Structure 1
């Protein structure tokens, strides 16, 4: 019944992978690597979440120290910037040929618009294991309140 159907030719996919890799090398800033990823050059990666009390921003800056990262707030915009040196720049004495470099290096800057109603004056940032957590508390009047129900 299904004798006519051909098996999927995986050799064609390998050819497409080769072509995609070639295009990535020729045009490194064009497009995105995957449909679920951010555009190329978006470093550091950022996760944003909220609780009843605060908005939390997680900045994933692997390979950086806390003093190599700058976090600032102005007009409800959170900005993260810094510089990441390449391993080759750190190892000036050694000579080597690189065949492929996928790790971002150089200066970076990301900005994120924050929602209204945050108490920017009480913002805090903590850095641990390459992750900077920025906690932006909500103003008291915007926090959810429970209303007690009285029996009549």
Structure 2
């Protein structure tokens, strides 16, 4: 019944092959974890979630203590700034040794995340436990959804 729908099985013309290769590079899994996220290897990794009451940001930053991460909010942009050393606790001779493969990010970093409107920055809180920073950004009271009770007539 639907056999005639497959009649256009002709290959892509050689001139359009560069376009397919370009699309494969842009949308490949090697560079990004998700189409909406930053490239793999960005530090620190983050998870962002939203409820009716607040926005929660989880910053996954192994090797950072609470004083190693500066957190600020300005104009609805959350900024994470800090520095992570290559070999924590090691002396200078260990840091200068040649490395055959390096996957752990070191150095200074800055990440900025756009936040939704209506965040109450004055009530924001941050906690750190085992290299995971939880940032709680409550919404302003007037923007929280309210239930309206239906009464009988």
- TM-score over 0.5 (shorter chain): yes
| Residue pair 1:78, 1:112 contacting (<8 A) in 2 also | yes
Q: Which residue of 2 aligns with 1:45?
A: 45
Q: Which residue of 2 aligns with 1:36?
A: 33
Structure 1 portions without partners, runs of 5+: 1-30
Cα 1:79–1:133 shift into 2, 3 Å:
same
Tell me if 1:141 matches 2:142: yes
Measure, in 1, the Cα distance between the counterparts of 2:32 and 2:105.
Answer: 19
SS at match of 1:90: coil
Alignment of 1:81-92 (within 5 A): 81-87=81-87, 90-92=90-92
RMSD (Å) for aligned C-alpha atoms: 2.1
Measure, in 2, the Cα distance between the counterparts of 1:69 and 1:42.
Answer: 15
Alignment of 1:61-76 (within 5 A): 61-76=61-76
| Residue pair 1:32, 1:40 contacting (<8 A) in 2 also | no
Q: Deviations over 1:24-54 (max 9, x none)?
A: xxxxxxx974442532552100111011110
Shift, 1:55, TM fit:
0.5
Tell me if 1:106 matches 2:107: yes
| Residue pair 2:32, 2:40 contacting (<8 A) in 1 also | no
SS at match of 2:147: coil
Measure, in 2, the Cα distance between the counterparts of 1:78 and 1:60.
Answer: 15
| Residue pair 1:125, 1:135 contacting (<8 A) in 2 also | yes
Measure, in 2, the Cα distance between the counterparts of 1:91 and 1:33.
Answer: 34
